[in-house]
Amino acid sequence: MRPTNAGIRQSWLYLFGPNAIILKAKCIMSEKATRHMALALKEAEAAASRSEVPVGAVLVAPDGRPFASDGNRTLERNDPTAHAEILVIRHACQATGSQRLPGFDLYVTLEPCAMCAAAISFARIRRLYFAAPDPKSGGVEHGAAFFQRDTCHHAPEVYGGIAETEAADLLKRFFAARRGEN
């Protein structure tokens, strides 16, 4: 019986080294990774239904099970820091009684902003998986490129492009509707 690639997707792996050297390599994502991102996409859809920018995040425990999931809630909470990434990190830190989350992996539907990238670093998240890049406000590949800075104490492994099309389409539809386009 021949092995099959069913359930396997390709993505980009970013490794940050000394002097902000970036190694970008194609990698294969497991079905588990795409399943976690699918849950993040559901959180993003729920955020959109609340008129929030549709970004969702899932924090996965070291044993591989989803530990926390949420979507943006900045409008609902009148809190500019209530990004999906921040919310799941806060939940996990409170639940574990620690400000550090080594061994945890974060799945998010949009490239994290600089604020969220800093929180990911401070929490010592092991791996970051994101769907769509954010050339305007991203803080990982774009903009601040937080993990490439000398002042960054911890840089997670970063995998981009998982379910990129689905996440980008959700964002495009959301903003088109806000502009009154169909």
Catalytically active residues are: 85
Q: Which amino acid is at 108?
A: V
- What are the residues facing 10 on neighbouring strands? 28
Q: Which runs of E-coded beta strand occur in the chain?
A: 9-16, 22-29, 56-60, 66-71, 105-110, 127-132, 157-160
**In a 3-state reduction of DSSP, which class is residue 25?**
strand
Number of Cβ within 10 Å of residue 67's Cβ equals: 19
- Of 11, 87, 75, the C-alpha closest to 43 is 87
